[in-house]
Amino acid sequence: MSDRKNLNRAVSVARGYDPYTSEWLEHEFESYALLREHLPVARTEQLAYRRQFNGGWLLTRYDDISACLSDTDVFSSQSSDYPQRPWIPQAIDPPSHTAYRRIMNKWFTPEAMTAMEPHLWDFAGELLDKMLQKDEFDFVADFADPFPTVIFCELFGFPLDDYEQLMDWKNTLMHATDGHSAGRALAVAKAKELGLQTPDEGELPSEVAGQVYGATAAALYEYFGGLLEQRREHARNDMISQLIASEYDGERPLTNEELLDTLFLMFMAGLDTVASAMGLIVKTFAEQPDKRREFIALMDDSQKLTLAVEELVRTHAIVLLPRRVTEEKEFEGASMHAGDQVMCPTMAGNRDPEQFENPDEIIYDRVPNRHMGFGHGPHRCLGIHLARRELRIGLQLLHQRMPDYELHPDKKPELFGGMKGASSLWLRKG
């Protein structure tokens, strides 16, 4: 196709860009590649409309995304509307961000996470024992979801008796309109409870989704408020108690609002991410047995496994990072205005051929591999050292116990867009 037509196609893809749908996933990498080549700083309309911004931009080159995520003065993280207040620390810019992160970074150091490894092995083994009693199973429901989620609940001190309720809240908040059928069903039920009209099929109207979102967030804030009250009376060995005992910049305790906004963010960021990456990686392994065998052959070599996990995170990056422009900015020739939104899809940066040779290929010993699967700049994933260990241990143990498997012939995987992932992944032992 001529360059002119490709440019026109790129303009059209950018115009309708809406990664918060499962349809987008059917052609996302081709679309990002088209944009990267022909329109690397693209104007978008659909996304801005959905998020109520003046205008939107979409970046697809590694260097551009890296520059945007590193320049926190011009590209603010306080980028969309929040149910109550901006989340801490994700939606806060330096220098306050630095002060909040300093409180939490020390809980998530590599050393602290290494100390958890024996427990991660035990718990992964327990879940796999149960799952592998069956010949076919939903890997997401039986392993990818509960493994990181239960570990997260234990760390923070969310009661495990509330697991189902927490998952329902998470799915309602994050997956009402992205192709996740359980998330949609929960959102519809909540909408009915609120006396709102909902369509039988298709996407929930954004005003309905917005009200459902607000009501669910309010319920979660109330729940967290209760936990904070309990821990103030009886501190325990968990992160809720540690957070209460923490000081902002060594000057003052965190306010109740700060505590709530932090717990809300931890909940949103901690419950879905490893589960999503793990589900997508195992889906790839079910579809590409050669890549799975290659992984199994190297996984007992610790250094090779380290590089392999990074390469899997690069090729299965799930995170979309929106930023808000704070001042007039000339960016790679584009005139950005204050208030514009800029979308940085890490999955697009991670497949830039200028940075990664044969970017669509999984090359387990890829070096260099400066991927942005865990984000980039000051907001890089707080739980990175835990996430790596969960992926490493989960994938290693899974394949020790079950080297051969395939997708279930009748039950197709269900994928959701946005911070993408698999909501169900039925497998059959090989």
| Binding positions for another protein, rule: CB under 8 A | 101-102, 105-106, 108-111, 303, 306-307, 310, 367-372, 374, 376-378, 380, 384-385, 388
In angstroms, what is the minimal distance from the CB of 31 to another protein?
24
- Which one, of 422, 426, 412, 427, lies nearest residue 180 by Cα? 422
* Closest separation in Å from C-beta 180 to another protein: 29
Q: Smallest distance, Å, CB 36 to another protein?
A: 19
Per residue, what are the HEC states of the chain? CCHHHHHHHHHHHHHCCCCCCHHHHCCHHHHHHHHHHHCCEEEECHHHHHCCCCCEEEECCHHHHHHHHHCCCCEECCCCCCCCCCCCCCCCCCCHHHHHHHHHHHHHCHHHHHHCHHHHHHHHHHHHHHHCCCCEEEHHHHHHCHHHHHHHHHHHCCCHHHHHHHHHHHHHHHCCCCCCHHHHHHHHHHHHHCCCCCCCCCCCCHHHHHHHHHHHHHHHHHHHHHHHHHHHHCCCCCHHHHHHCCEECCCEECCHHHHHHHHHHHHHHHCCHHHHHHHHHHHHHHHCHHHHHHHHHHCCCHHHHHHHHHHHHHHCCCCEEEEEECCCEEECCEEECCCCEEEEEHHHHCCCCCCCCCCCCCCCCCCCCCCCCCCCHHHCCCCHHHHHHHHHHHHHHHHHHCCCEEECCCCCCEEECCCCEEEECEEEEC
- Residue 105 beta carbon to another protein: minimum distance, rounded to whole angstroms: 3
Q: Which residues contact 275 (CB under 8 A, 6 or more apart)?
A: 140, 144, 145, 147, 148, 149, 421
Nearer to another protein, 251 or 410 (CB): 251
> For another protein, which is the closer residue by CB, 86 or 378?
378
Pick between residue 80 and residue 369 the one whose CB is nearest to another protein: 369
Q: Closest approach of Cβ 252 to another protein, in Å? A: 19
Phi and psi at 59, nearest 5°, equal -105, 145
Q: State the minimum distance, in angstroms, from the CB of residue 72 to another protein.
A: 11
Closest to another protein by CB, 140 vs 308, is: 308
Cβ 232 to another protein shortest distance, Å: 25
Minimal distance, residue 244 CB to another protein, in Å: 20
Query: Is the Cβ of residue 96 or residue 256 nearer to another protein in the bound state?
Result: 96
- Select 110 or 226, whichever has its Cβ closest to another protein: 110
State the minimum distance, in angstroms, from the CB of residue 282 to another protein: 22
Instruction: Tell me whether residue 83 or residue 378 sits nearer to another protein (CB atom).
Output: 378
Q: Which of 15, 66, 14 is nearest to 36 (CA)?
A: 14
Residue 201 or residue 251: which is nearer to another protein going by CB? 251
Beta carbon of residue 245, minimum distance to another protein (angstroms, whole number): 16
Residue closer to another protein by CB (options 104, 212) is 104
Tokens of 18: 């809406």
Nearest CB to another protein, comparing residues 13 and 69: 69
